[in-house]
Amino acid sequence: MAKERVLIVGGGFGGVKAALGIAGDDRFDITLLSDQTNFRYYPTLYHTATGGRRANSTIPLAHLFANKPINLVQGTAAALDRKAKTITTTDNQVMEFDTLILALGVVTNFFGIQGLQEYSFGIKSIEEATRLKAHLHQQLIDDRKPDLNYVIVGAGPTGIELAGALPHYLKKLMKNHGIKEHRAVHIDLIEAAPRLLPRMPMDTSRMVKRRLKRLGIKLYVGQAVQGETADELTVSGKPIRSHTVIWTAGVTNHPFFKENNFVLTNRGKVAVDIYLQAEDGIYVIGDNANTPYSGMEQTALQDGAYVAQNLKRKAKGKDPKSYWVKRPITVIPAGEHWAAVLWGKVRLYGWLGWTLREAGDLVGFHDYEPWPQATEQWLTEFGSEESCPVCMASGTAQ
Ligand SMILES: Cc1cc2nc3c(=O)[nH]c(=O)nc-3n(C[C@H](O)[C@H](O)[C@H](O)COP(=O)(O)OP(=O)(O)OC[C@H]3O[C@@H](n4cnc5c(N)ncnc54)[C@H](O)[C@@H]3O)c2cc1C
């Protein structure tokens, strides 16, 4: 009997989970197409940017799929032909499917603000995190003093994670580089909304604000970025001198969907039915889909597992189950040994929150790997890695 050809596009949280969910079921011929050779574990990218190991945030897809009947193809999906049931990549590979699962994630949105794309840094990929880290070191080598201001734009979870980790890391770097700078290092966190974590409860916002202030972060809320040049950022009409602006303030849905005429909601997400189908046999999951908790890792995981389960049910001749998703637990670390946790109505702050976050990462890695490999991956969280010659010579880099 001919196997059902399942093409999964995107080797991130949703795509990998879906692939692993149907792997081993010989009714399926599975192909996963991704533009990257690695799976990115986004929650630890801020840590990789501030001294953590690269291996903590990235796992080769080939490693995750070792001994699994999944054809792994590298390429960038560009066009969908609904009639021919094919996806064509930018390098003209044509991939046929019976069932398509799209899990492409989101892309950075600079809202057309002048200079940002050119001059700002980001932490949305391992390459961006590595580039930011290299810049922090290079600046100390070239100028022999820290930047006037280290500016993080966006006080959502990513901006807060990074702001929390930066003071300790900069202190360590300055020590390694033998820089005794009397002037305090300024770390600014800028948010256009009237408060930090604008999509989270007020009390969480207040607790995180208190924590960041204690770490010496300067907070600017209700302030909009208007432009950036090589030397400064303009915020609500005022210039801030900086060579280190990190943009964490915006993402938007992957352009693939607009370019291929999918129906989008007013949030820019793809409209899906109760089975996460955008159209018959075309599933859209994770950050791309218009679901209640879209935009979170646990949602993408649940979506991938859910679609895999339904494909298996359908292949057995059973009716598919309708989509139902659990509210994800939110954990936001802010500096060493401190995190805010929102778990339904429960809120935890501080060391206990941090411990839960560490445990959550271990469970997160186990979502993709057996316990021994997941534990090995998790342990990379506790190491450090520097390629800067000065820090390597100081012996504090692993
Ligand atoms: C810095 C950062 C920190 C985060 N921290 C947390 C956190 O702590 N907790 C949490 O719940 N969520 C967090 N998130 C959000 C979470 O990572 C996402 O919700 C999750 O990754 C969504 O999974 P996905 O499968 O939809 O997309 P992704 O995981 O982004 O996967 C998309 C994949 O598709 C690939 N791709 C893109 N375009 C193409 C193309 N044209 N062709 C082929 N392949 C393509 C990409 O390279 C990527 O591999 C964070 C996000 C960021 C950026």
With a cut of 60, say whether residue 361 has pLDDT above it. yes
Q: For 94-98, 260-264, 361-365, which range has the lowest pLDDT when averaged over its residues? A: 361-365
Instruction: Give the integer Cα–Cα distance in Å for 105 and 252.
Output: 9
State the CB neighbour count (10 A cutoff) for residue 257: 20
Question: Which distant-in-sequence residues (6+ apart) come within 8 Å of 22 by Cβ?
Answer: 6, 28, 30, 308, 311, 312
Q: What are phi and psi of 121, to 5 degrees?
A: -105, 170
Mutate to test the pocket of ligand 1, among 7, 8, 9, 13 (most ligand atoms within 8 A of CB): 13
Per-residue burial over 84-121, b = 16 or more CB atoms within 10 Å of its CB, e = otherwise:
ebbbbbeeebebebebbbbbbbbebebeebebbeebbb
With a cut of 50, say whether residue 278 has pLDDT above it. yes
Among protein residues, the one whose CA lies closest to atom 34 of ligand 1: 10
Q: What are phi and psi of 220, to 5 degrees?
A: -125, 105
pLDDT score, position 182: 60
User: Is 52 exposed, middle or buried, given 0-12, 13-18 or 19+ CB atoms closer than 10 A?
Assistant: buried
> In 56-119, where does DSSP find H-type helix?
61-64, 116-119
Instruction: Give the integer Cα–Cα distance in Å for 169 and 99.
Output: 47
State the CB neighbour count (10 A cutoff) for residue 344: 8
> Which of 5, 23, 2 is closest to 70 using CA atoms?
23
Distance 105 CA to ligand 1 centre (A): 5
> Which of 328, 348, 355, 42 is closest to 208 using CA atoms?
348
Mean pLDDT in residue range 286-293: 97
Distance 288 CA to ligand 1 centre (A): 10
CA geometry: angle 114, 119, 120, nearest 5 deg: 95
Mean pLDDT in residue range 188-205: 95
Mean pLDDT in residue range 245-260: 96
With a cut of 60, say whether residue 397 has pLDDT above it. no
Token representation of residue 138 = 């290079």
Mean pLDDT in residue range 366-388: 88
With a cut of 60, say whether residue 121 has pLDDT above it. yes
Among protein residues, the one whose CA lies closest to atom 38 of ligand 1: 104
Mutate to test the pocket of ligand 1, among 45, 248, 283, 287 (most ligand atoms within 8 A of CB): 287
* Tens of pLDDT, residues 133-180: 999 999 888 888 888 899 999 999 999 999 999 999 999 998 888 888
DSSP assignment of 351-390, as one string? Answer: HHHHHHHHHHHHHHHHTTS-HHHHHHHHHGGG-B----HH
With a cut of 90, say whether residue 341 has pLDDT above it. yes
Q: 14 in ligand 1 pocket by Cβ < 6 Å?
A: yes
pLDDT-derived band at 396, boundaries 50, 70, 90? low
Mean pLDDT in residue range 81-85: 98
pLDDT-derived band at 398, boundaries 50, 70, 90? very low
Q: 10 in ligand 1 pocket by Cβ < 6 Å?
A: yes
With a cut of 60, say whether residue 74 has pLDDT above it. yes
Distance 102 CA to ligand 1 centre (A): 12
CA geometry: angle 379, 381, 387, nearest 5 deg: 115
Instruction: Give the integer Cα–Cα distance in Å for 175 and 268.
Output: 46
Q: Rounded to the nearest 10 degrees, what angle do helices 371-379 and 351-366 cross at? A: 130
Mean pLDDT in residue range 1-26: 95
Q: 12 in ligand 1 pocket by Cβ < 6 Å?
A: yes
With a cut of 90, say whether residue 302 has pLDDT above it. yes
pLDDT score, position 260: 98
Asked if residue 137 lies in contact with residue 384, where contact means CB atoms within 8 angstroms, the answer is no
pLDDT above 90 coverage of the chain, percent: 81
Among protein residues, the one whose CA lies closest to atom 8 of ligand 1: 43
Mean pLDDT in residue range 339-365: 92
Q: 103 in ligand 1 pocket by Cβ < 6 Å?
A: yes
Q: Where are the beta strands (DSSP E) in 203-329?
A: 217-221, 225-228, 232-235, 238-241, 244-247, 251-253, 277-279, 282-284
Distance 122 CA to ligand 1 centre (A): 14
Mean pLDDT in residue range 92-99: 98
Q: 256 in ligand 1 pocket by Cβ < 6 Å?
A: yes
Which helix (H) or strand (E) segment holds residue 100: the answer is: strand 99-102
Which helix (H) or strand (E) segment holds residue 163: the answer is: helix 157-176
